[in-house]
Amino acid sequence: MNTPPDLAHAPDHGFIDGIRASSRQMVRELGFLHGTLAATDYPPSAVHALMEIGARQSMTASDVTAFLGLEKSSVSRMLRKLVDAGELEEAARPADARIKDLSLTRKGRKSRAAIEAYGRHQVSSALANLQPAEQEAVRTGLALYSAALARRRQAPVPATPDAAPAVDVVAGYRPGVLGRIAEMHAVFYARHAGFGAVFESRVAAGLAEFAGRLPSGRNQVWTAVQAGRIVGSVAIDGEDLGDGRAHLRWFIVGDGVRGGGVGRALLRQAVDFCDRGGFSETHLWTFRGLDAARHLYERHGFVLATETPGAQWGTPVLEQSFVRRAVAAG
């Protein structure tokens, strides 16, 4: 899947320890060692939850757990306290009452605004001590370092001798790829959303049209292959949207390998391709309720842009669009 870093070119211990020392100092200066954060009465995890739920308008408890990388029971207790404090409200989904969306109340929005103001003042007052070029170096360096830390956390676990056969991510066309991607989509979405022939035919037609444009350097498809069988896919269409925007399409992972890092590996290939290609934005379209996929999108920098009712696939759903802005080059 992901290629491990080349440790032969890793910095020496002195270089690494310097970064670690700076990281510890940042933690102290930003107040993360205190019981509360950002001039609130809440611990850091609760402050982060308020910020991220507000940024996305709504999240489930599972969304928050995955995004923060914390233990599920701890997040559940923390979210319950925020609900009891009037910062968050819960709403059961009409299609499945077991799933509850969390959103900020009026009080929560005021708390988030105060946290934003505190954080902006904290950063701006620190940056005031630096020249413009140094400020840009801080912004770029932090973005690159935080992204590298996230990639390390999201890297799939290597297969062991007793594990299932390894899954490799392969770029480009291979015989049977179009039919297999269409089949995986048809079977999954029939089961999870009630889609039928309209959906399958549109997927197949889109794949057939895209295949003719694959030789272009602006387009690519990746498949996850296990023991010779395709078990996942994703594609970047760099031509259909125009204006320097990329379109992420046909992302799917099979049941047998879902949750094992295959989706992360596929999306990493796709977003890296977009960054190398200089696309200003990457767009994708999906619908509400596919929480596992949404976790992955958001981990890779996608943000919910719109949500509207629609029935273009033959069944009424809340259609969503997500956008990922280009990552600044270092």
Q: Which amino acid does the sequence have at 144?
A: L
Q: What is the pLDDT of residues 205-254, one digit of tens each?
A: 999 999 999 988 899 999 999 988 999 999 999 999 988 999 999 999 98
What is the spatial distance between Cα 192 and Cα 170, in angstroms, rounded to a whole number?
27
Mean pLDDT, range 54-59, rounded to an integer: 84
Token pair of 104 as six digits: 């900020």
Residue 188: helix, strand or coil by DSSP? helix
Sign of CA dihedral 104, 110, 112, 116: positive
Neighbouring C-beta atoms of residue 76, cutoff 10 Å: 14
pLDDT at position 270 over 80: yes
Give the pLDDT score at 213: 93
Q: Where are the beta strands (DSSP E) in the chain?
A: 88-93, 96-104, 167-171, 219-226, 229-237, 245-253, 281-287, 303-310, 317-325
Angle of helix 61-68 versus helix 291-299 axis, rounded to 10 = 30
Amino acid of residue 271: V
pLDDT value at position 9?
A: 46
pLDDT digits (tens, 9 = 90+) for 298-309: 988 999 999 888
Instruction: List, for residues 275-298, the tens digit of each pLDDT value.
Output: 989 999 999 998 888 888 888 899
pLDDT on residue 150: 64
Identify the weakest region by mean pLDDT among 52-66, 194-208, 295-309: 52-66
**Look-up of token digits 């590298």:** 148
Q: For residue 236, how many C-alpha atoms fall within 13 Å in the half-sphere facing its CB?
A: 29
Residue that is written with structure tokens 């982060």 in the block: 48
Cβ contact 210:219 at 8 Å: yes
281-287 and 245-253 as β-strands: parallel, antiparallel, unpaired? parallel
144 versus 202: the higher-pLDDT residue is 202
Whether residue 311 is predicted with pLDDT greater than 80 in this model: the reply is no
CA 63, 66, 72, 75 torsion: positive or negative? negative
Q: Is the pLDDT of residue 60 over 50?
A: yes
Which is nearest to 251 in space by CA: 305, 297, 313, 213? 297
Q: Is 302 helix (H, G, I), strand (E, B) or coil?
A: coil
Cβ pair 269, 234 in contact under 8 A: yes
Among the listed residues 61, 69, 117, 124, the one whose alpha carbon sits nearest the alpha carbon of residue 88:
61
- Residue 87 · residue 129 · CB < 8 Å: no
How far apart, in whole angstroms, are the C-alpha atoms of residue 227 and residue 165?
Answer: 6
Task: Report d(CA 204, CA 58) in Å as an integer.
Answer: 33
* Distances, alpha carbon 323 to alpha carbons 271, 300, 316, in Å: 12, 11, 22
